[in-house]
Amino acid sequence: MSYRFVGRSLSWVLVFTLAASVGCVNRAPEETIEFRVPVTARAVETGDVEDRIVATGSLRTPEAVALNADSGGALKIARNARGRRFAEGDRVKAGDIVGEITGEEVRLAAGLEAAEQRYATVKADYDSKKALYDEGLLAEQEFRQVESSLADAKIEVERGVLKETRSRLITPIDGVILRLARDESEQPLADGQLVMQGFQVAQIAPTDTLIAEVDLVGSDVARIKVGQIARVRHHAWDDSRFEGRVLRLAPSLDPSTRTLRAEVAVRNGAAKLRPGMFVEVTIVVESRPEVPVVPRRAVAERNSRKVVFVVEGQKVRQREVVLGLGDDEIVEIIEGLEPEERIVVQGIETLNDNMSVRVNGG
């Protein structure tokens, strides 16, 4: 073997050894990467919760008065204090004249003028004969006859006055004119239009308080009671809630629908609501103020138990809870949490006990 071959082999061995040494020196140590689930957390708060019944219904007036013509004749609608002809939507007070039936038919039906003349004649005869009777110059039987005639004449006058009064259509209640002088085609009638006996001149009803009628089914029938607080909403005023109370419950179920009719009295001081509107009615069955509450989405179900995930450092602890009243947004925590504890409110879908998390805000 030549020395040249041996020297060359030793050179290659030295190169490989040095390369291996360099490789061992520059190798980075291995790292363990821990995966953390991104979540959003929030402190447990206190708030008010309610158990509610939500239903839909329509509005009506608590009462209504129809003013009908007692006699046929020419219709005349009354004027308000400013001299303007009454119109639908106007407010009237008890005792206000809304309209009048005028013309020959009314005058003849009343016969008031003739009755008053007869009464005046009989009254004069009575006065003269009473003077004679008091002086003992007139028999008692004759005086009693004239006294009876005076009473009859007075009754005739009163009847005439009553008939004439009935020709004036007077509202017995405060309210709003809902309907005024319309024909069968719902067209408004002008003054002087002839109407028949029984024609409805006006319909008047109070609107400061309206009645929402709702039909309840199932377990709601047992939960509702007279006096419970209610709130009414109409989409035209979505930011407004009209307060009210359950006024009365029907004594029996509707035989065809098996529903219970409930009447809710709704305050309408601003006159925004109208009879006939379709509204949403929320009846408060029970309320609890200042109790621990969490967002409904923060509650999960694990092994048929209601749980939340409490943030402790960089991990979460699964905590079983007992729920109370609530709605679609929040729910009361009866047991399992204390106010100010931080719980996961977003990102709970894949969480389990003792899992590492990365809290984003909250």
- pLDDT for the residue numbered 12: 45
Could you give all domains of the chain from N- to C-terminal order, each with its CATH number?
Answer: 38-49+289-359 (2.40.420.20), 53-61+207-288 (2.40.30.170), 65-205 (2.40.50.100)
| 277 in Cβ contact with 58 (< 8 Å) | yes
Task: Find the radius of gyration of the CA atoms of the chain.
Answer: 45
User: Looking at per-residue confidence, does 302 or 31 come out higher?
Assistant: 302
| 189 in Cβ contact with 73 (< 8 Å) | no
Residue closest to 169 by CA, chosen among 91, 70, 88: 70
- pLDDT for the residue numbered 161: 63
- pLDDT for the residue numbered 159: 73
User: What are phi and psi for residue 120, nearest 5 degrees?
Assistant: -65, -40
Is the confidence at residue 29, as pLDDT, over 60? no
- pLDDT for the residue numbered 3: 42
- pLDDT for the residue numbered 283: 96
Residue closest to 92 by CA, chosen among 79, 74, 75, 102: 79
Segment 309-332 shows an average pLDDT of 92
Segment 185-208 shows an average pLDDT of 93
Half-sphere CA count of 89, side-chain side, radius 13 A: 4
| Lookup: tokens for 314 | 């960089």
Pairing of strands 37-43, 200-205: unpaired
- pLDDT for the residue numbered 16: 46
Q: Which of 31-35, 138-142, 290-294 has the lowest mean pLDDT?
A: 31-35
Q: Which of 13-17, 33-37, 239-243, 302-306 has the lowest mean pLDDT?
A: 13-17
